[in-house]
Structure 1
């Protein structure tokens, strides 16, 4: 009896033989526990994809838990191949914007890995870097502030 259908590969993950699926394939420990939010953004994101929860394979589902500390924030970002539907269990988010327009992406629209592009990293940490004067003008910032931001986001 085969453990996996080796010919069925979805998003680089083998499809498990349905006869061998167990409850543990849909079980994740610790997702109910608040995480440490003492980083500089006051945020901890706990992703749940097919890597953490094998039972999600082929369902086109991923999710995550976001824990915010006081005044914590999630920087502007996009998921190039995912429509997100947020659900808030506690607290009051001040702003939550959605772009419901379909996007062209190298990922399938129901990809198990929606990817993430954090705007500040792309803009201030780009290689080659974007000219200080262009960024200063675009964001109405002093060039010293731009230099400071570029230093933080260069890897």
Structure 2
């Protein structure tokens, strides 16, 4: 992706500037990706009960616009997204390293146990709707409150 490098602007505020794409003007035209690199940061872990403030380390960037190809390339390299913020955990220094598990949705076939659990959950949902209907009126009118 093209990177916006922060530099001091008016009043000392950091303003982004666009860096040139690798390959210069000869590169094939494609949608631009524009990000602001925030560098490395450390924070407390969101997974375990540790109280230390520097147990989770990551490199982050704010995404203003990103092409599909650039986004997929970052995901393939271990980056994650939260809204418009992308980050890559530093696995060697993080107390609870997150590992990505990818599943081709079109190839997924639930196991017998998963199908059984799904039926149980569907019965639970249906019973909840029946209880709501039995308490006076249909579920939609009660949901509107």
- TM-score, length basis structure 1: 0.26
Larger Rg: 2
- TM-score, length basis structure 2: 0.27
More helix by share: 2
More strand by share: 2
